[in-house]
Structure 1
């Protein structure tokens, strides 16, 4: 299978980076093709500009958008790995979604006013970390909201079937090294199952 991993964390010493490496190692051990798009290393421009929107309407894709769309097109499985910052995606990843999951590429509206999902047939995995405790996020409904926003609001809106969504909370202070190892084992197990 062809796997595309879109990664959004600036710190190579982070748990997110360990999650990325664990996923890649498991996939490669299973003989899968893996493409990693490390948005911070790439210096990806997250700003959807007026020029971008005009170019997209005219079918003249900016080269950086065309490159990313080609990676999406070639992927059987799309994985997003990122931290939750201020109850949402990091700006660089939100901008990636804004620019790359574009109208007429990822979705379109049909004559009945409903959505045609243009990425149907692909699977998606979302792995997010956050510093707040899991108990608190679960109690206030934030975990469910995060799943709806990214899983349903992004992937499923475009036809990508969410295969798994892992949310790891309390990663800043409250989890132990043993719990971190268990998180990474869940990641390894997930990607080994493909």
Structure 2
């Protein structure tokens, strides 16, 4: 099985990149039947701005722009999507949000039919979220940030398209053993990525 690991951080020396690399290492350890591709959105220069061509695609008036079509092809090859990202203002960084905006398109990720019914087109895809945050667990729980992020991202984005979020991880700077423990966790996530059991 094949995973697309998407990274949204401009600094290749960041913990985000190190975590993504360890997820990839875990997939490699899990056996020769499994493979991965790393997509570094910042290094690749992906344009997150939703423009006129994206509007035309949404309105079913045009084909996908070339960069969006390339992302569709990458995702079509993948059985699993792994998003590795820092938490900015309790959500995705703008680069990753723009990737979602432009790539999870009408007609490809979902279809609003003329009869008003929604067709969820990504039911084959499993999604794993690996978010890195700076707050402590007490703050996260006190304000309900984790449940708010799950509502927005797990349900609002991927549930809408039918993709299954089978792993959702919030790695915090206040966690015991930081940052080494996060690297170990990331490798374990990679090793277990294609297990049939949902990850906590």
TM-score with structure 2 setting the length: 0.89
- Work out whether residues 3 and 79 of structure 1, in 8 Å CA contact, stay in contact via their aligned partners in 2: yes
Other-structure match for 1:3:
3
Other-structure match for 2:13:
13
SS at match of 2:123: coil
Other-structure match for 1:191:
190
Other-structure match for 1:53:
55
- Work out whether residues 134 and 168 of structure 1, in 8 Å CA contact, stay in contact via their aligned partners in 2: no
The C-alpha deviation readout for 1:106-137, integer Å capped at 9, x for no partner, is 00123552321101111110010111112101
- Work out whether residues 123 and 162 of structure 1, in 8 Å CA contact, stay in contact via their aligned partners in 2: yes
- Work out whether residues 57 and 106 of structure 2, in 8 Å CA contact, stay in contact via their aligned partners in 1: no
Please report how far the alpha carbon of residue 14 of structure 1 lies from its aligned counterpart in structure 2 after TM superposition. Answer: 1.6
More displaced stretch, 9-18 vs 40-49: 9-18
What is the rounded CA distance, in whole Å, between the counterparts of 2:120 and 2:57 in structure 1? 22
SS at match of 1:128: strand
Matched, 1:101 2:104: yes
Q: 2:149 aligns with which of 146, 149, 155?
A: 146
TM-score with structure 1 setting the length: 0.91
What is the rounded CA distance, in whole Å, between the counterparts of 2:187 and 2:4 in structure 1? 16
Please report how far the alpha carbon of residue 59 of structure 1 lies from its aligned counterpart in structure 2 after TM superposition. Answer: 3.7
- Work out whether residues 127 and 165 of structure 2, in 8 Å CA contact, stay in contact via their aligned partners in 1: yes
How many residue pairs end up in the alignment?
A: 190
Unaligned runs of 5+ in 2: 195-200
Please report how far the alpha carbon of residue 179 of structure 1 lies from its aligned counterpart in structure 2 after TM superposition. Answer: 2.9
Please report how far the alpha carbon of residue 157 of structure 1 lies from its aligned counterpart in structure 2 after TM superposition. Answer: 1.2
Other-structure match for 2:36:
34
Other-structure match for 1:129:
132
Unaligned runs of 5+ in 1: none
Matched, 1:64 2:64: no
What root-mean-square deviation, in Å, do the aligned CA atoms of Structure 1 and Structure 2 show?
1.5
- Work out whether residues 82 and 127 of structure 2, in 8 Å CA contact, stay in contact via their aligned partners in 1: yes
What is the rounded CA distance, in whole Å, between the counterparts of 2:23 and 2:114 in structure 1? 41
What is the rounded CA distance, in whole Å, between the counterparts of 2:115 and 2:123 in structure 1? 19
